[in-house]
Structure formats: structure tokens, C-alpha cells
Amino acid sequence: MAITAPGTNWQTVDYSDKKTLVEALQGVHTLLSFVQPLSDPEQRSQKNLIDAAICAGVKRFAPSEYGRYRCDLGRH
């Protein structure tokens, strides 16, 4: 069991099932997405999560936009 701060909620979800995503997001005000873009190059999981957040009435959504492209610091 994860330890959470008061007012936070962690859930394991199936990103391919929009219906259950909408159900999981009912009553959520702010959604922080930590989907790893490298594991889903077409961003299907994130798109489904955004669609479900809209349907569930989520007020704030912070997308996961970290780690998509590799930065090669050795090149100029």
C-alpha cells in the first residue's frame, strides 16, 4: 500500500479502457499524468487519459511531457 498525503489518490488503471478511466476520474479536481512517453510513442495512453478527464469533468490536467526525446549533449 502506498503512503499518500491527505487529499491525494493513487490508482492503477488500464489506459486503453476509456470507460473505466472516466469512472476512476469521477470527482477528481486535478490530475497529474506521469505516463512515460517513451513506452507509448503514439501517445495513445495520454490521449485516452485526456479524453476521459474531459468526460469526467476534471478541472485541471497536467500532461506528462517529460522524456519524449533523447537529448544528445555531445552533439552541437
Domain residue ranges in the chain: 18-62
pTM to 2 decimals?
Answer: 0.73
Nearest CA to 50 out of 68, 33, 29 is that of 33
Residue 31's Cβ-count burial label (10 Å; 0-12, 13-18, 19+) is: middle
pLDDT value of residue 28: 92
pLDDT at 55: 97
Q: What is the CA radius of gyration of the chain?
A: 15
Residue 35 and residue 44: Cα distance in Å, rounded?
10
| pLDDT one digit per residue (tens) for the chain, 76 residues | 556 778 777 788 899 999 999 999 999 999 988 887 777 778 899 899 999 999 999 999 998 876 555 555 555 5
Alpha carbon distance 7, 5 (integer Å): 6
The distance in angstroms from the start CA to the end CA of the chain is 46
